[in-house]
Amino acid sequence: KAGVTQTPRYLIKTRGQQVTLSCSPISGHRSVSWYQQTPGQGLQFLFEYFSETQRNKGNFPGRFSGRQFSNSRSEMNVSTLELGDSALYLCASSSLRDRASGYTFGSGTRLTVV
Amino acid sequence: SQQGEEDPQALSIQEGENATMNCSYKTSINNLQWYRQNSGRGLVHLILIRSNEREKHSGRLRVTLDTSKKSSSLLITASRAADTASYFCATDAPSETSGSRLTFGEGTQLTVNP
């Protein structure tokens, strides 16, 4: 079955702009989570969505937001970009029926803010 | 902030040798998972061990969990050059919101020399 698909793979934005990243989970997976990875802070949890509802949120400013659609696809948005938002953004999906399989991650979106 | 600490931060071994990575965490958990990441790409789920399990095997991988010490170890036996990657432990902790989130360690960079 197809894996987790993240688009775009690479993105360059200017400070102050906003950006939207997309994630299509594995078919049948209703839980989608987002993580930010930077050299300084490592992997940090952003938020988790399940059935279009945000169930969990990490310690990020309100500039970071997300949503999930009825087909489980998810988007995250970052407004008023700062240089420190440059990172690899990873999306992960999971099935509540098969938690032993852990999470399946996409290849990520590499965001560079200049 | 990272819940887990991993050691060593970097490990260099020869093909055929065994590699052991350790992870410590701070809070109670539902399970602990290990992931591999190649060159800043997406994470690949390796193995999950539940809080009531002490040891688990999967192919060349062996994971142990000591909840009294809040620590885990990942052993890769008979390593290969293709095992070169970063390895992360991640804890899945009980949540008040019934959601799920992974808290990652800082990772161990494993280099297997041919």
Residues of chain B in contact with residue A106, where contact means CB-CB under 8 angstroms, are: 42
DSSP per position, A15-49: TT--EEEEEEPPTT--EEEEEEEETTTEEEEEEEE
- Name which of B35, B45, B47, B103 to mutate to probe chain A: the one with the most chain A Cβ atoms within 10 A of its Cβ: B45
User: Pairing state of beta strands A42-50 and A104-105?
Assistant: unpaired
DSSP E strands, B1-114: 5-7, 10-14, 19-24, 31-37, 43-50, 55-58, 61-66, 71-76, 85-92, 102-104, 108-113
How far apart (Å, rounded) are the C-alpha atoms in residues A22 and A45?
16
Instruction: Judge whether residue B3 has pLDDT over 80.
Output: no
- Beta-carbon contacts of A41 under 8 Å, excluding residues fewer than 6 positions away, are none
> Is there a contact between B15 and B79 (Cβ–Cβ < 8 Å)?
yes
Q: Is A4 on the interface with B (CB under 8 A)?
A: yes
- Reported as a pLDDT band with limits 50, 70 and 90, residue B1 is very low
How far apart (Å, rounded) are the C-alpha atoms in residues A47 and B44?
19
- Name which of B102, B104, B106 to mutate to probe chain A: the one with the most chain A Cβ atoms within 10 A of its Cβ: B102
What percentage of chain A carries pLDDT values higher than 90?
87
pLDDT in tens, B57-104: 999 999 999 999 999 999 999 999 999 999 999 999 877 666 778 999
Q: Is A60 on the interface with B (CB under 8 A)?
A: no
Instruction: Judge whether residue B40 has pLDDT over 90.
Output: no
> Is there a contact between B25 and B71 (Cβ–Cβ < 8 Å)?
yes
Window from B22-26, B39-43, B95-99 with minimum mean pLDDT: B95-99
Contact A56 B99 (CB under 8 A): yes
How far apart (Å, rounded) are the C-alpha atoms in residues A40 and A50?
29
Instruction: Judge whether residue B2 has pLDDT over 70.
Output: no
Which candidate, A113, A114, A111, places its Cα nearest to that of A10? A111
Instruction: Judge whether residue A96 has pLDDT over 80.
Output: no
In this prediction, residue B26 carries a pLDDT of 92
How far apart (Å, rounded) are the C-alpha atoms in residues A86 and A37?
9
> Is there a contact between A4 and A23 (Cβ–Cβ < 8 Å)?
yes
pLDDT in tens, A36-81: 999 989 999 999 999 999 998 999 999 999 999 999 999 999 999 9
Instruction: Judge whether residue B9 has pLDDT over 80.
Output: yes
In this prediction, residue B5 carries a pLDDT of 78
Which candidate, B59, B58, B65, places its Cα nearest to that of B91? B65
pLDDT in tens, A19-36: 999 999 999 999 999 999
- Reported as a pLDDT band with limits 50, 70 and 90, residue A2 is confident
